Structure 1
């Protein structure tokens, strides 16, 4: 027997329609465009539905993060090769939309809405997790060393792309991995 009333979440087709439009708006206009009014105009979905499920830009950003997680790579058995492969994947993800643009939007949204800071942090930590896993497999001895190593690899890439509007420097990222591996194995 089913209970009468509204379902807990939007129908799958509605969610897909709204979040697809939201991603397009985010990439073209930034997080400020993620209002229920703009989403209604872009999709034709009833404003009440949008307000009920995504009342603020932060809610739309959280939904986008939830539906687009980075799939972890299968370990190859060679943790050093895996670490280098993860560098290549991050470089590709930062170079291509939507990851680079999504990160920029999260930074901008965090500046205007402090509640978005947690979303930005969660998204960046998700980007760093493959590095953390590879560093654990290589034998980094403490969680502090794992966290520091992941940051040493990814931070220059994030600064270049997000703050300096430079292209991804894949060679420098691989040098950072090699330098870190030399320190770990020393």
Structure 2
């Protein structure tokens, strides 16, 4: 039996329209621009619809993270080459929009609203996942060991891009991979 009333979530077209506009706002103006008024002005979607499905900027950011693409190329059979490829992909994603800018917006949103901190953690953990997978394929055993190795590779990139406003240094990232592999092969 069909019950009358509103559907549980926004229509696919509405969701795509609002989230595309939200991403554009985040990339051009930061997370502070994620207001129902701004999204309404960009999309024409009623503010009540926006408030109903995304009541706070944190909810918009969470929705954007949920639909963020996570490119995962097929393993080549050479886990070391795959690890280097993952570093190159992350370097490209941090250099180009939207990952680097989106991460900056999450850092800013987290400082303004502590409820956004778990979103920032979730997004960074998603960035680390391909490294964890590849390091495990290389033969690293133990969750803590894999996590530490992934962080040893990724953390310097994030510090450079997010905190020091430096460009992505691909060579440095590859040296970090070499150091991790050297340390782990001992």
TM-score when normalising by structure 1: 0.98
Per the alignment, residue 94 of structure 1 pairs with: 94
Per the alignment, residue 22 of structure 1 pairs with: 22
Spell out the pairing of 1:28-67 with structure 2 (5 A cutoff): 28-67=28-67
Q: Aligned pair 1:168/2:168, yes or no?
A: yes
Spell out the pairing of 1:3-18 with structure 2 (5 A cutoff): 3-18=3-18
Bigger CA drift: 67-76 or 81-90? 67-76
Q: Note the alpha carbon deviations across 1:22-51, whole angstroms, 9 max, x for none.
A: 011101111011011111111110011000
- Structure 2 counterpart SS, 1:9: coil
* CA displacement at 1:107 relative to structure 2: 0.3
CA distance in 2, matches of 1:144, 1:128: 13
RMSD: 0.8
Q: Note the alpha carbon deviations across 1:5-31, whole angstroms, 9 max, x for none.
A: 101111111111101110111011110
CA distance in 2, matches of 1:80, 1:133: 12
- Structure 1 counterpart SS, 2:2: coil
For structure 1, which runs of at least 5 residues remain unmatched after alignment? none
* CA displacement at 1:57 relative to structure 2: 0.4
Per the alignment, residue 146 of structure 2 pairs with: 146
Aligned residues: 186
Which stretches of structure 1, 4 residues or longer, exceed 4 Å deviation after superposition? none
* CA contact 1:35–1:55 (8 Å) conserved in 2: no
Per the alignment, residue 177 of structure 2 pairs with: 177
* CA contact 1:87–1:174 (8 Å) conserved in 2: yes
